[in-house]
Amino acid sequence: MLYWIFQFVDWKPAFVDRLVAYRQTLSKYGDRLDAFTSYREKLNRYREKLSNSGMWGEAIRRPSETTRVGRGEDEEGEKRKAKWAANATLNFGAVIAVAPEDSPRLPSLIEAANLTGIDIQVPHQPKWTAQSVNFWRTMESKDHKGAVGASPGTAKGGLGHLNALKWFVDSGMETALILEDDVDWDIELRTKQIPRLAQSLRTHLQKNATQQSGFMSQGTGPWGNTSAWDLLHIGHAGDFGVNAETSATPKDVSHSPEYLAAMQHAVYRDDTLPSSHDIHPLMRPYLRSMGIIHNHRVLQEPRRNLNSWAYALTRRAAVQMLETAKNHTETNNPFDVFLMRSCIGTNSYDNFTHKPYLRCWVLNPQLFHHQFHLSESLITGSLSMASIDAAGYAQAKERWEVPNVRCGARSGAFHWKIGVQLDIFGDEEQERLELLQREVVGKGQCLKDWKQRFNISNYVDVEQPTRNKDLRRRGNLRQ
């Protein structure tokens, strides 16, 4: 008996010490839990304050929501997608199409705009005179010191872009997205792709401003502080940092992670991209060589951003481009080279020396791409196919989609317009449009057999009008 008493006396101090240690550990974790609870309450108040003030919804989106939003798998996902979706002008002041009023591609453009809920303005474009055409051709010749000037078709394309820029400046808006009328885009452009791009740009601009000033910068809208950028190039053939227009192979466009690290860039996830196999044959090795995994895009500094299929810009940038063109300085044939020089300035390809005057960003892979069967257009007037287009032509023909677009709104699968009058919507047309908006665009489902799936009989497409005097709803001709 005495043995057990002495054993307990010897063991008690150690037990007490261990009990005290456990209590101290519990107290420490309790303090951390209180701090976390306080932080969560502050975060909820901040989110409520943002919501009440009408600021953009994605400002403090959690990473988990970035990958889950808009999958159409549950009711909560659908609500999130509606909350984060861009507005009808993709959160720009306007979406502007470069096209003459009698362009045969306008009906398809307006049909796709209605399908995806995008409001596109089509400014009135005058009939270009020989004097106007020679104006652009003279600029090209002057830059190249006597070289042969631009073709009339290319000159008209450049004048069309200048006309759109002037309309934008005269409108008084601060931002605009300018499209050529043969571009295609994904059915989820408004619901997923634009919000994710805007979030990536905002985050990067805020990070840069914080590093420079030492305090957190507050953006001023969906596209961040518009005084911190001039042009977003989101519709092009691919900026690979080399001249891929004349000749290019996967080896030519392959770089290294150091190549990307040497420039400003932001990589973000986007699961609306096609499968890795269906990415453009030159874009795929370009991204892989820099360590960018599939289902990701990179917003980067431009190196050779040719093609002017789609670009967003600020009012300041439009004024500068118009002034440059007016003074016959730093311009070239065609317009996309003029745009590229505005962004990158001097380059070894054309031996033209000047400094860039726009702060530009280019997106790889791009959001907009021109349609091959529509590219012999009133915009360019060209019948040739660049090397980079030729590299992706077989793939595009097999997929029946433009490069790097998973489910094109203008792929030909989602026709809903029956009559030739674009400004008149019949009951049957309205029902078809609402069905496509709900089942295809709303749920992100690429239902190319939608007419069979919903027991809708096929119809024979009628000849489209060659002149459109008044395009209501999502398309407007401006006089």
Burial of 38 (0-12, 13-18, 19+ CB in 10 A): exposed
pLDDT of residue 350: 46
- Higher-confidence residue of 47 and 123: namely 123
Residue 459 pLDDT greater than 60, yes or no: no
Q: Is residue 411 pLDDT above 50, yes or no?
A: yes
pLDDT value for 84: 60
Q: Which helix (H) or strand (E) holds 360?
A: strand 360-364
User: Cα(201)–Cα(196) distance, rounded to whole angstroms?
Assistant: 9
Sign of CA dihedral 123, 127, 131, 137: positive
Instruction: State pTM to two decimals.
Output: 0.76
Give the residue from 193, 364, 391, 403 showing the smallest Cα distance to 278.
403
d(CA 442, CA 70): 8
Taking the C-alpha atoms of residue 122 and residue 101, their distance in angstroms, rounded to an integer, is 8
Report percent pLDDT > 70 for the chain. 65
- Beta strands, E only, 192-314: 231-235, 265-269, 296-300, 310-314
pLDDT at 4: 52
Q: What's the mean per-residue pLDDT of the chain?
A: 77
Dihedral sign computed on CA atoms, order 401, 407, 412, 413 = positive
214: left (phi > 0), else alpha (psi -120 to 50), else beta?
left
Which pLDDT band, with edges at 50, 70 and 90, does 393 fall under? confident
Q: Do 231 and 168 meet the contact criterion of CB atoms below 8 Å apart?
A: no
> Using one digit for the tens of pLDDT, what is the confidence trace for 93-125?
999 999 998 888 999 999 999 999 999 999 999
Residue 198 tokens read as 């805007």
3-state DSSP assignment of residue 121 = strand
What is residue 168's predicted lDDT score, i.e. its pLDDT? 98
Continuous segment of H or E residues that includes residue 397: helix 387-399
Tell me the one-letter amino acid at 333. Answer: N
Nearest CA to 269 out of 67, 82, 77 is that of 67
Q: How are beta strands 310-314 and 369-370 bridged, if at all?
A: unpaired
Token pair listed for 457: 């009989």
3-state secondary structure of 61: coil
- Find the largest Cα–Cα distance for the chain: 120
* 77-83: average pLDDT: 48
Rounded CA separation 231/356 (Å): 12
Say how far apart CA 199 and CA 43 lie, in whole Å: 19
Assign 3-state DSSP to the chain and report helix, strand, coil percentages, each to 5: 45, 10, 45
